[in-house]
Amino acid sequence: MSAQKIGVFTCHCGGNISDYVDVQKVCDAAAGTEGCALAKTFLFACSDSSQEEMMEAIRTHQLDGVVIASCSPKLHLETFRVMAHRAGLNPHMYTQVNIREQCSWAHRHDMPKASEKAVRLVRAGIARASLSRPLENIRVETLPAVLVIGAGPAGMRAALALSDLGLTVYVVERAAEVGGRIRALGKLFPSGRPGREIVARLRDQIAGRDNIVVYTNAELVEKSGSAGRFAVKVRAGQETISLKVGAIIAATGFAPYAPQPEEFGFGLPAVVTLPEFNELLTTSRECLRVNGRDVRTIAYVYCVGSRQSEGNQYCSRYCCTAAVHAAIQAHEIDPELNQFHLYRDMRAYGRNELIYEEARQKGSLFLRYDGGEPPTVEREGDGLLVRVRDELSGGDSIEIPADLVVLVTGMVATSNQRLLDVLKLPLSAGGFFNEIHPKLRPVETVIDGVFIAGAAQAPKNLAESVASSMAAAANCSAMLLKGHLDRAPLVAKVSAETCVWCGECVKVCPYAGAIVEVERDGKQVADVVPELCKGCGACAAVCPSAAIELEGYTNAQVTAMIDALAAEVVS
């Protein structure tokens, strides 16, 4: 079954490879290696004409394996797998050897040694190919439905987008009402539209869809299956509902930072958090009153609960702009107010800069404090006294008698242990959900089919939360609208003959249910459930009898590659 007639194609990559590696020498060495039936060089292996020529060669020489020595597999592994497939060869009989990034470009100072290394790499590739077997991708039929956890703006907006695409959506909200944190908020930057209006609009739109079902007072309590086909259980009130979905979006949002007692005077009357101040603004007309007193002077302390040297080290992103936006509203209620902003760095980024500018024009004063020397807030008489060392005026100590102190509180992760136990999502240092790759795969998680959106991932403002929820919706539909999912079958496999069912593999397997105990020929052995196995190889590394190994990285393959790489190259 393994490859006996391997075609080995070495690429010049223009001169990217051949300027530093003797490509002809590599080709000749390949030709002399056992298993190689045909060796050729190409100026650009990835060009259409080269691919045509290779496909022709595969057919005429009836090649059963192909090795291409060219660039990093990150670039063209998929290209050449598809090429092999078009020529009638199983794509997993193709092996890519990287002689560009990991050879020619890294050893430009020594062409003879680089060429020798390329020969060894190609021989290792041939060794691997000759031990490869044709494999079928694991195909999973997918279900056209999505579970959205959390009905904040991110979750609601994702539900609508998924519904637009024709997918059924189940929304699970822990609270009694939908809308998340903005439900209680007044005017929001940048547009000034009140949060409750935005929520009402989203709620009405959702009510008009017959393919969205919303459960409130509800939580996800169980999840099984894998990407494309999850079975989940939702507890809504007293009821437990079983649902089948193809993908899951976790949009569980954030919690406002709750200051410690006495942190910047927290606990004193008239020391409030930003959400509390926001509420005061929505209920005030003509003047602000706190504890029965008119407010004449407000001091804002920024970065409360954010950018801590220990604890929450991150910046909460939304709060600088939310605070200056609140100050503008306060000014609109009472233009006579004195407003002092004690900040560390003003992060009203992008167009939010204009909101910051407007606050300044309306008379807000900004004083900059050093994170190592924060302001203090004390009670004085009926009011409050704020002390700050202002860096902008050369470090002057300034005392501000204030009627109201607003702690500009950041965002923290919601406490969601039960959900984490069900979803098994990794968390970032700050306790938010972690994506696979912050730049390239920003809403995917290590759990295939589970996506994250909104402020559950990291502090985000509304626009950012909704943008990421759109990305998550697009990812779900890209996965589900095709109707099936193909995965590379490089998963663990067990040799029932050698397995003695010691259970070591199950102990180290990170994926629940991926390794099961079965009976084969009257004895108990391990077996792998390919749909649940991710192909990490943790089981293979610990198996005392080497009975379990990873497809594509079997003991025979890796050992043969080591032998080929260790062998001397005689020039």
Partner 1 sequence: MSAEGATARDPRILVFSTTGISDPGIDLAGSAHMNYPPGVTVIGIPCSSGVRPDWLVHAIEKGFDGVFVAADGGDCALVPDCTARTAWAMERAQQMLSERGMDPRRLKMGAICSVCAEPFVNHMKQFGDTLRKL
Nearest residue to 510 (alpha-carbon basis) of 427, 426, 419: 426
The span from the CA of 58 to the CA of 56, in Å, is: 5
In the window 326-385, what residues touch ligand FAD (CB under 6 A)? none
- Among ligand FAD, partner 1, none, residue 120 binds (CB under 5-8 Å by kind): partner 1
- The interface with ligand FAD within residues 248-287 (CB under 6 A) comprises 251-254, 256, 274-275, 278
CA distance to 61, 154, 459, 562, per residue, from 464 (Å): 55, 9, 9, 48
d(CA 377, CA 301): 10
For 504, the 3-state DSSP assignment is helix
393 binds partner 1 (CB under 8 A): no
Binder of ligand FAD out of 124, 151, 206, 328 (CB under 6 A): 151
CA distance 571 to 565: 15
Q: Is 114 in the site for partner 1 (CB under 8 A)?
A: yes
Q: Are 128 and 2 in contact (CB under 8 A)?
A: no
Q: Using the structure block, give the residue that is written with the tokens 């919601």.
A: 414
SS3 assignment, position 461: coil
523 binds partner 1 (CB under 8 A): no
Exactly one of 124, 172, 299, 324 binds ligand FAD (CB under 6 A); that residue is 172
Distance CA 279, CA 224 (A): 41
Structure tokens at 532: 């649940």
Binding to ligand FAD by CB under 6 A, coded x per residue (else -) over 397-426, reads -----------------x-x--x-------
User: Both tokens of residue 389?
Assistant: 């060392």
Read off the amino acid at residue 351. R
Q: Is 246 in the site for ligand FAD (CB under 6 A)?
A: no
- Tracing tokens 């007072």 back to the chain, one arrives at 217
CB of 46 to partner 1, least distance (A): 16
Site string for partner 1, 453-492 (x = CB under 8 A): -------------------------------------x--
Per CB under 6 A, does 322 bind ligand FAD?
yes
- 200 in contact with ligand FAD (CB under 6 A): no
Crossing angle (nearest 10°) for helices 462-480 and 153-164: 30
Q: Which two tokens stand for residue 295?
A: 């407010």
Using the rule CB under 8 A, is 537 a contact of partner 1?
Answer: yes
Residues that bind ligand FAD (CB under 6 A): 149-155, 172-175, 180-182, 185, 188-189, 219, 251-254, 256, 274-275, 278, 318, 322, 325, 414, 416, 419, 454-456, 460-463, 465
Binding residues vs partner 1 (CB under 8 A): 72-74, 98, 100-110, 113-114, 116-117, 120-121, 124, 426, 436, 446, 490, 508, 510, 534-538, 540-541, 546, 550, 553, 555, 558-559, 561-563, 565-566
